[in-house]
Amino acid sequence: MATEHSEHELHEYPGGVVESPGGKIPIFLKLTYVGFTLFAILYFILYFNGNGSPLVELYNELTGAGS
């Protein structure tokens, strides 16, 4: 006799990973995705505007990088 799994049953995989029922993504993970995306956009804008830290600016002057 085959056992049927309920939709609301949690599944545990090797390593202690637990799959949530229904495949829903937790809210903290959604917020993490948004946070990393915003950070990447900000970093991209600052990188192309040349707004680096004083240490980066000093490195660029000494090595001639960014010229």
Tens digit of each residue's pLDDT (9 = 90 or more) over 21-51: 666 788 999 999 999 999 999 888 777 766 5
Mean pLDDT, the chain, whole residue set? 75
The pTM of the full predicted model, rounded to 2 decimals, is: 0.45
C-alpha 67/C-alpha 45 separation (Å) is 18
**pLDDT confidence band for 1 (50 / 70 / 90):** very low
CA 2 vs CA 5, 10, 66: distances in Å: 10, 18, 66
Q: Determine how many CB atoms are found less than 10 A away from the CB of residue 7.
A: 7
